[in-house]
Amino acid sequence: MAEDYSKTTRGIRVTVRSFYLEDQSQADESHYVWAYRVKIENQSRQAVQLVRRTWHITDARGRTQHVHGAGVVGEQPLLEPGESFEYTSGTPLETPSGFMVGAYHMVIPASGENFDVAIPAFSLDSPHQSGRVH
């Protein structure tokens, strides 16, 4: 069963849930794919805009891939107080498990102030990993 991971930074709540995609994975070729759904909620009293993202994706062998880019899924959402933005993305790994953690780089349009919002670490689990607890 999928688990939600949440973290709040300066009134911006980030909730992530990952899903193993069996139909897109090929365990015999060491190709495992996950989707992850992210919800970003502005619980602060000012508008914020997500301008960049940074991800650290670590596989079961401890190899970490760093991903940086503008916005998310081609957008740089502006969130007024009380608004939220959701998107789904995905990642492949060469191992049957791993984890991701990162940050969204935000700007407050009214002041131009920049700050980072933590993306909680979340696990990428598949039925192919050894030592899985059922």
For residue 102, give the nearest of 11, 24, 36, 22 by alpha carbon. 36
Q: Could you give all domains of the chain from N- to C-terminal order, each with its CATH number?
A: 4-125 (2.60.40.1470)
Per-residue pLDDT at 1:
53
Per-residue pLDDT at 134:
36
**Cα radius of gyration (the chain):** 16
**pLDDT surpassing 80 at residue 127:** yes
* Tens of pLDDT, residues 37-57: 999 999 999 999 999 999 999
Whole-model pTM? 0.92
**pLDDT surpassing 60 at residue 67:** yes
